[in-house]
């Protein structure tokens, strides 16, 4: 199977397993389910954010490595693995558990949640952009300087701060 096809199949299987788990738990409804899913949500959020904060740092270092060098090839492996083993699955689990919590807690109508939802959509879009940059670096197509990635490092940081304040303080 071609690598792209294999990646798509892996992503579909991961989404299906997570959706089945969340749906199964929703039907079973063991006591304390909401809090267990919230714990899982926060664990997934930490993993997603760890990756989203580290990946642009790798891009910064990768810019200093000459194309085709051993160092550059090592960065390619690190970036691909970080994205496919940590960041992508963590995002799927964050979304699945977050949507379940929102549905079960009746949060969709509440202001803080709607604001958080918009910011989380922005974070997911940045995730998509980072994935494209991983592919660009893998094909030695990057043309941007390290300074650009250092700046981009701040975007997920700022979004994370706003999202956590909205979720915990619930100011409106
Ligand atoms: C991907 C879409 C997401 C959805 C649909 C979602 C939804 C939710 C919901 C409904 C809750 C429960 C609120 C409560 O019971 O008080 C929650 C909790 C939480 N979420 Fe999210 N969330 C998402 C992503 C994120 C992200 C990206 C972060 C951080 C960067 C985050 C951080 C938190 C935190 C810290 C809590 C715990 C709040 C508390 O217990 O006081 N969430 N989320």
φ, ψ of residue 142 in degrees (nearest 5): -70, 135
Atom of ligand 1 nearest to the CA of 159: 30
State in Å: Cα 151 to ligand 1 middle. Answer: 26
- Residue 151 near residue 93, CB atoms below 8 Å: no
Give the pLDDT of residue 65. 95
- What pLDDT does 61 receive? 97
Domain boundaries, the chain: 3-169
The confidence score (pLDDT) of residue 81 equals 96
Going by C-alpha positions, the residue among 138, 149, 154, 155 that lies closest to residue 60 is 149
Consecutive H or E run containing 67? none
Q: Whose CA is nearest to atom 41 of ligand 1?
A: 168
Mutate to test the pocket of ligand 1, among 46, 98, 164 (most ligand atoms within 8 A of CB): 98
pLDDT tens for the 172 residues of the chain, in order: 677 788 788 878 877 887 787 778 777 777 888 998 999 999 999 999 999 999 999 999 999 999 999 999 999 999 999 999 999 999 999 999 999 999 999 999 999 999 999 999 999 999 999 999 999 999 999 999 999 999 999 999 999 999 999 999 999 9
Find out whether the beta carbon of 43 lies less than 6 Å from any atom of ligand 1: no
Instruction: Please say whether the beta carbons of 83 and 131 come within 8 A.
Output: yes
The pLDDT assigned to 25 comes to 76
CB 117 within 8 A of CB 69: no
Atom nearest to 124 CA in ligand 1 = 1
Residues contacting residue 127 through CB under 8 Å, at least 6 positions apart: 52, 87, 91
Is the CB of residue 91 below 6 angstroms from any atom belonging to ligand 1? no
At residue 1, the pLDDT reads 64
Cβ neighbours of residue 34 closer than 8 Å, sequence gap 6 or more:
101, 104, 105
Residue 129 is encoded by which pair of tokens? 């952009």
Verdict on whether the full-model pTM lies above 0.75: yes
91 neighbors 48 (Cβ within 8 angstroms): yes
Separation of 23 CA from ligand 1 center, angstroms?
18
Residue 41 in contact with ligand 1 by CB distance below 6 A: yes
């Amino acid at each position: 199977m071609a690598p792209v096809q294999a990646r798509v199949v892996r992503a579909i299987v991961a989404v299906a397993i997570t959706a089945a788990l969340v749906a199964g738990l929703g039907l079973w409804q063991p006591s304390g389910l909401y809090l267990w899913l919230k714990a899982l949500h926060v664990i997934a959020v930490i993993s997603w954010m760890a990756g989203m904060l580290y990946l642009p740092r790798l891009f910064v270092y990768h810019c200093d490595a000459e194309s085709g060098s051993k160092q550059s090839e090592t960065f390619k492996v690190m970036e691909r693995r970080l994205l496919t083993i940590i960041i992508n699955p963590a995002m799927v689990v964050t979304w699945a558990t977050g949507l379940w919590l929102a549905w079960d807690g009746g949060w969709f109508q509440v202001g803080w949640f709607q604001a958080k939802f918009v910011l989380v959509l922005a974070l997911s879009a940045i995730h998509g952009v980072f994935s494209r940059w991983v592919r660009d670096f893998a094909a030695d197509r990057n043309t941007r300087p390290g300074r650009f990635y250092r700046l981009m490092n701040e975007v997920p940081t700022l979004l994370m701060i706003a999202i956590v304040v909205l979720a915990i303080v619930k100011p409106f």
